[in-house]
């Protein structure tokens, strides 16, 4: 998510949506086996907060102060979503915090925080998608540049894969929203990271984003350099267990800069080219971020997008809504956390209708077998009760130069 990462939002634990959620007295939630063995097995939400404090260009609070600038969500915060029928929690974090010195060991304290959250979720039957939320950067240096060679990115992923390769309930998202770089440069970096992951013996599913903020609407159209639909055909995975991750918002910029939606069918209309590209090339896709406001137009658009994904499970592995997590202000329109009275948000009402595994098309490839339970997690690190998150709009630039054509598509529906 690129439009809400810099600036201060004060959250006090007395208000809903702020602070960590403690362990619940009830037994851990159980994820339905049918959800993980049926079509489109990975459906859930982004559990944000560990990436807070830094903007999409690498400016902000690094490393920041744990418990105020950023925090890893308590694993118990996933129980609300798992109980709804979700299976997958995308976990954004910052590379610089986990590996303060490039090509050096991962920070033990930060790794413990991450592992506590990951194992807490997977022990509850959930799946975790690790997401270095760095926009193809370390600080302000761009991956693949002289200042940040691909070998540094590969080293990072080699170390991270080594830590989680034995947990089949962990998926590897290579990077969040690469942008402002040649697409070919990103492809080379992605291939280096994939090779490093596989060299560890890891067989986990890898999700590969595209350039240009990995927009689904611009996947085959470009406007940011060579189109992802052309350049990313050069992605190589020795383990042949990967999918392409796109993000799609429904506002006028397609980037989530506003809670408004331009029509009731943005998602289904603009994902069409990406869907056909997946099918034509025998690839799989994943919708890693999407969000709407609560207007009637937006709710209809959300319903239409999820229905569209349900109808195309032969090429989609799943989706994760943006977002949840302890540092969100209760009033932030992105937040999927329940209200102060415990009521579901309107968006959750729509999402929940699409958590029963949809009917598989004839051409669907069977999803992987249910993941095994990993070892018990270590004790959770004590959490403070008051946080300052870092979220505010940082840009609303329209990165797709062919946006007019997309609106023509929408008006023709």
From 177, 245, 303, 337, the catalytic residue: 177
Q: Which helix (H) or strand (E) holds 316?
A: strand 316-324
CB 20 within 8 A of CB 326: yes
b/e 55-91 (16+ beta carbons within 10 angstroms → b): bbbbebbbbbebbbbbbbbbbbbbbbbbebbbbbbbb
Q: What are phi and psi of 412, to 5 degrees?
A: -85, -10
CB 192 within 8 A of CB 206: no
108-122 helix and 150-164 helix, angle to the nearest 10 degrees: 50
Q: How many CB atoms lie within 10 A of CB 146?
A: 7
Q: How far apart are CA 135 and CA 74, in angstroms?
A: 25
- Output the six-digit token pair for 88: 């997958």
Q: What angle do CA 42, 46, 49 make, to 5 degrees?
A: 150
Q: How many CB atoms lie within 10 A of CB 394?
A: 18
Mark whether 395 is an active-site residue. Answer: no
> How far is Cα of residue 241 from the mean position of the Cα atoms in its chain?
18
From 163, 289, 303, 337, the catalytic residue: 289
Helix, coil or strand: residue 128? strand
Q: Which helix (H) or strand (E) holds 406?
A: helix 403-412
Mark whether 177 is an active-site residue. Answer: yes
The dihedral over CA atoms of 156, 133, 124, 302, expressed in degrees to the nearest 10, equals -150
Of 188, 184, 186, 163, the C-alpha closest to 176 is 186
Residue for token digits 């809903």?
Answer: 16
Instruction: List CB contacts of 382: < 8 A, sequence separation 6 or more.
Output: none
> According to DSSP H, which parts of 343-402 are helical?
346-352
Active site residues: 177, 289
């Amino acid at each position: 998510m690129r439009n809400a990462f810099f600036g201060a939002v004060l959250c006090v634990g007395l208000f809903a949506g702020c602070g960590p959620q403690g362990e619940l007295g009830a037994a851990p939630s159980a994820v339905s086996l049918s959800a993980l063995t049926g079509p489109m097995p990975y459906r859930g939400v982004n559990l944000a907060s560990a990436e807070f404090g830094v903007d999409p260009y690498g400016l902000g609070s690094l490393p920041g102060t744990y418990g105020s600038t950023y925090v890893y969500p308590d694993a118990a915060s996933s129980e609300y979503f798992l109980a709804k029928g979700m299976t997958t929690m995308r976990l954004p974090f910052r590379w610089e915090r986990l590996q303060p010195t490039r090509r050096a060991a991962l920070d033990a304290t930060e790794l413990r925080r991450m592992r506590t959250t990951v194992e807490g979720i997977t022990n509850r039957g959930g799946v975790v998608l690790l997401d270095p939320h760095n926009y193809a950067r370390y600080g302000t240096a761009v991956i693949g540049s002289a200042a940040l060679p691909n070998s540094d990115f590969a080293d990072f992923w080699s170390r991270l894969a080594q830590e989680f390769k034995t947990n089949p309930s962990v998926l590897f998202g290579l990077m969040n929203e690469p942008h402002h770089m040649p697409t070919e440069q990103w492809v080379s970096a992605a291939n280096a990271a994939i090779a490093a992951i596989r060299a560890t013996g890891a067989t986990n599913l890898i999700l590969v984003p595209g350039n240009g903020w990995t927009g689904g609407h611009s996947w085959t159209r470009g406007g940011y350099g060579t189109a992802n639909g052309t350049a990313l055909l050069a992605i190589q995975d020795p383990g042949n267990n990967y999918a392409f991750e796109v993000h799609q918002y429904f506002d006028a910029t397609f980037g989530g800069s506003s809670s408004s939606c331009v029509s009731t069918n943005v998602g289904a209309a603009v994902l069409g080219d990406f869907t056909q590209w997946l099918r034509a090339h025998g690839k799989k896709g994943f919708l890693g971020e999407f969000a709407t406001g609560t207007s009637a137009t937006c709710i209809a658009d959300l319903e239409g997008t999820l229905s569209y994904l349900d109808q195309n499970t032969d090429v989609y592995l799943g989706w994760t809504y943006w977002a949840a997590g302890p540092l969100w202000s209760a009033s932030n329109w992105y937040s999927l956390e329940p209200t102060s009275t415990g009521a579901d948000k309107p968006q959750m009402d729509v999402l929940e209708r699409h958590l029963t595994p949809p009917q598989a098309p004839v051409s669907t490839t069977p999803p992987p077998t249910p993941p095994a339970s990993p070892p018990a997690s270590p004790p959770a690190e004590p959490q403070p009760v008051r946080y300052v998150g870092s979220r505010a709009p940082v840009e609303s630039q329209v990165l797709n130069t062919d946006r007019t054509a997309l609106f023509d598509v929408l008006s023709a529906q």
